[in-house]
Amino acid sequence: MGTVLIVGAGPAGLYASRKIATAGYQVLILNRDIKPGGLAEYGIYPEKHHMKHGLRKQFSKILDLPNVAYLGNLPVREKGILTIDQLRQLAPSAIVFSVGAQGTKKLGMQGEEAKGVYSAKDYVYYYNQLPPFASQDFSTGRRVAIVGMGNVMVDIARWLLNDMPGPKPEEVTVVARRGPFEVKFDEKEFDHIEMCLDRPTFREELARVAERIRACGQDADKVAEKLFPWVNRSAGASGGPKLSFRFLTSPVAIVPDANGRIAKLRVVENLLVLDGQATKAKATNQTVDLDFDTLIFAIGDVVDPTLGLPYEKGGYLTRPGAPDTEAGAYEVFDPKTGNALEGQYVVGWARKASEGLVGKARYDAEHGCDHILKYLEGAPRKTTLSLQEILREVARPAAHLATKEDIILLGRAEEARAQEANRPAFKFSTNEEMLAAIEQQRASFRDISASAA
């Protein structure tokens, strides 16, 4: 029935694979990382063992399907060992791009390249042990600013305040362009860090912005009742790192010290103004320098512009104006011809960067696949290479690819290490260690089978 290539094995790519494989097509997944799972493996908070375990179980069932093949450690890039053009030349029945949002949103500020300034995605990859981030310098100091107030901010603050090994920061400050009524995180997530919220400082901050938020009909006295119930509860024993907020504040420049590390964050004070039913920040001309030695941007991501798909304003192009109910919203669109690129689709965070939970990525992928399967039913027959031929072509230039059998061996090796250390989970943090562990497992199975024969 033809082969469909799925580029990216996060939740979107894996659920798309299941849907397409279940309809009878051969599926070949090509994934940048050795391990499948994407942000479910390398983004979701490390302590969420139950959730991660449940997702891994579902993903391994998908990889177990007889008509699903997997090659990990194989990034597709515009200028790399495997390009989209090469994939097109294999004449697959369709290509589904489920590569997530791997680009960094930059604010274009002076000093953004200073040491100690990180994007949340990279930082989260670091503490979730994704190579090569796991081995890079993500040192944090005593005073950390996190820009943005979504769930990613909460995860990072939780790591810094509760779980990071080594010395923790003394202060973590959330820098938010709008006010307390515009927080985007979930209360149950904030529960993990509320004990660190510096109550008196938070009340002072509410008083500082009270007048400005009143302009939008918001009452600072209602913040505790409506959004921050923790403020009126005791914080328990004090003495640990402190969490505070600075509302109505936008970064405008980073001032480095003599070593090139961030020393100050220059911010502008914002007003809060109405924008239809919503609110938006409006910069004043009042700036102030705040002392920070670390800055993490948790403001959402964009897609990777170097993949090689038509790209504009942080996203891959799909048919302009197409609603999500129509195929056009998933078809890759070429602005040069004004047509969709036949048989090429985007799903999940590759389609809508940084939007929603795993369940949403799954829904998006499965819904997109309804359109893809319709296309496949009516598509002209192609002389697609066989899976074996495709595997030979794709694997030829690249070394050390991981197959789905290798992923099972890696899983066993990591499980054994977790048991040895009496920990709920263990991860190798370099590709070399993962590949060596796979080899070791393979060798020990060879030995067992030889001695049994």
Ligand X SMILES: Cc1cc2nc3c(=O)[nH]c(=O)nc-3n(C[C@H](O)[C@H](O)[C@H](O)COP(=O)(O)OP(=O)(O)OC[C@H]3O[C@@H](n4cnc5c(N)ncnc54)[C@H](O)[C@@H]3O)c2cc1C
Ligand Y SMILES: NC(=O)c1ccc[n+]([C@@H]2O[C@H](COP(=O)([O-])OP(=O)(O)OC[C@H]3O[C@@H](n4cnc5c(N)ncnc54)[C@H](OP(=O)(O)O)[C@@H]3O)[C@@H](O)[C@H]2O)c1
Residue 208 binding target from ligand Y, ligand X, none, CB below 5 to 8 Å by type:
none
53-82 mask for ligand X (x: CB under 6 A)?
----------------------xxx-----
Task: Provide the token pair at 216.
Answer: 């939008």
- Cα–Cα distances in angstroms (integers) from residue 325 to residues 269, 369, 371, 399, in the given order: 41, 12, 9, 40
Decide whether 194 or 433 has the Cβ nearer to ligand Y.
Answer: 194
Tell me: does residue 157 bind ligand X (CB under 6 A): no
Rounded distance, CA 37 to CA 28, Å? 15
Terminal-residue alpha carbon distance, the chain: 39
Residue nearest to ligand Y (CB): 150
* Interacting residue with ligand X among 206, 265, 361, 410 (CB under 6 A): 361
Q: Is 308 in the site for ligand Y (CB under 6 A)?
A: no
Q: Where are the beta strands (DSSP E) in 63-190?
A: 68-71, 94-97, 117-119, 143-147, 171-175
- Before 132, cis peptide (omega within 30)? yes
Give the largest CA-CA distance in the chain. Answer: 81
Task: Find out whether 101 and 107 touch, Cβ atoms under 8 Å.
Answer: no
Q: Is 28 in the site for ligand X (CB under 6 A)?
A: no
Q: Give the footprint of ligand Y on residues 356-395 (CB under 6 A).
A: 356-357
Q: How far apart are CA 98 and CA 87, in angstroms?
A: 15
Tokens 């309809």 belong to 23
Nearer to ligand Y, 192 or 264 (CB): 192
Binding mask of the shown chain, residues 187 to 206, with x at each position contacting ligand Y by CB under 6 A: --x-----------------
Q: According to CB under 6 A, which one of 102, 140, 294, 431 is a site residue for ligand X?
A: 102
Phi, psi at residue 101, to the nearest 5°? -110, 90
Instruction: Give me 120's structure tokens.
Output: 């949340």
Q: Using CB distances below 5 to 8 A depending on partner kind, what does residue 32 bind out of ligand Y, ligand X, none?
A: ligand X
Q: Which parts of this chain interact with ligand X (CB under 6 A)?
A: 7-13, 30-33, 38-40, 43-45, 48, 75-77, 98-100, 102, 124, 152, 155, 307, 348-350, 356-358, 360-361
Q: Which residues bind ligand Y (CB under 6 A)?
A: 107, 147-153, 155, 176-178, 182, 184, 189, 250, 298-300, 354-357
